Amino acid sequence: MRTVFLGGGRITSALLAGLCLANFRRPVLVHDRNPHKLRRLREVYGVSIGTDLHRAVDKAQLIIIAVRPASVADLLRQIGKVGRPLYAVSLAAGIPLKNLRSRLGPSVRWARAMPSPASRSGRGLTALTFDRGFPAAAAREVRTLFGKVGSVLEIPESKFDAFTVTYSSSHGYHALATLAAAAGKIGLDRETALTAAAHALADGIVAWREGNTSLTALLHEAATPGGIAAAVMQAMDRARYGRVIERGLKAGLRRARENAKKN
């Protein structure tokens, strides 16, 4: 399938990097309103580029909507009705299929995907959901495309916003920055604090993902009852660590729902 990315920003760049790494050989074209971004993508990833939106869409069998949620309606208006079979995958956070379904006409079939910048290294995770009537063969192509840059998870659309707010690399970076800052306050220099925090967060989680020991067992092993790690965790729980995370996720959900209302 000839795939055309509409929007050549951060997530497109991460996906292209992952596809390159995976030696993805199928034709890919990127359209963006900024010619300098397109030139850079061509230079770095060897993709075709197109500054003319209609020509780009005309060449596509699969379009990937990779503009910000607030720009989606405008982009789809510019495309107008498409009078031939076309598959469209929207990456736009929060915008439901019901808002997209009729925008390009009845011959366009829609799906949503939620990848992350971790796709860049081939270690991403992408949630997918397909609208009714999305043909099985085309769905296979979409799964294959995102499967090149990491794991693929198919979930019902009703879970998409919850997945979006939970699956963000920002959680890891935020936790890293917060843990390192706290370590700085109790006496570690910045470099040692970041190194210790990065190992603390990443190594155990990688081991959990790659092994088959339960999270409860690993937590028990890492925090001996009555020991230092247990004291740290208890203090954090008393300060309502879980509640803080929950509030963060709920704020993300509210934002996703605003995207749905506005767009």
CA-based Rg of the chain, rounded to a whole angstrom?
Answer: 21
Q: Residues in the chain, how many? A: 263
Binding of ligand NAP at residue 150 (CB under 6 A)? Answer: no
Q: How far is the CB of 23 from ligand NAP (least distance, A)?
A: 23
Binding of ligand NAP at residue 63 (CB under 6 A)? Answer: no
Segment near ligand NAP (CB under 6 A); pick from 65-73, 132-140, 224-232, 237-245: 65-73
Binding of ligand NAP at residue 8 (CB under 6 A)? Answer: yes
Contacts of residue 72, Cβ cutoff 8 Å, sequence gap at least 6: 65, 90, 92, 95, 100, 263
Q: How far is the CB of 162 from ligand NAP (least distance, A)?
A: 14
Select from 92, 100, 145, 165 the one that contacts ligand NAP (CB under 6 A). 92
| Cα dihedral sign, 50-55-59-63 | positive
Binding of ligand NAP at residue 74 (CB under 6 A)? Answer: yes
| Nearest by Cα to 108 from 67, 70, 72, 63 | 63
Q: Which is nearer to ligand NAP, 38 or 183 (CB)?
A: 38
Segment near ligand NAP (CB under 6 A); pick from 28-36, 55-63, 99-107, 208-216: 28-36
Binding of ligand NAP at residue 149 (CB under 6 A)? Answer: no
CA atoms of 60 and 262, how far apart (whole Å): 28
The single residue listed with the structure tokens 């390192």 is 180
Select from 3, 4, 5, 11 the one that contacts ligand NAP (CB under 6 A). 11
CA atoms of 193 and 252, how far apart (whole Å): 28
Within residues 100-119, the interface with ligand NAP by CB under 6 A covers 114-117
Q: How far is the CB of 250 from ligand NAP (least distance, A)?
A: 18
CA atoms of 196 and 41, how far apart (whole Å): 35
The Cα diameter of the chain in Å comes to 68
Select from 37, 40, 101, 255 the one that contacts ligand NAP (CB under 6 A). 37
Residue 118, SS3 per DSSP:
helix
Q: How far is the CB of 92 from ligand NAP (least distance, A)?
A: 4
Q: Which is nearer to ligand NAP, 77 or 243 (CB)?
A: 77
CA atoms of 60 and 5, how far apart (whole Å): 9
Helix (H) or strand (E) holding 237: helix 228-238
Select from 48, 71, 166, 195 the one that contacts ligand NAP (CB under 6 A). 71
What is the 8-class DSSP label of residue 33?
S
* Residues near ligand NAP, by CB under 6 A: 7-12, 32-34, 37, 66-69, 71, 74-75, 78, 91-93, 114-117
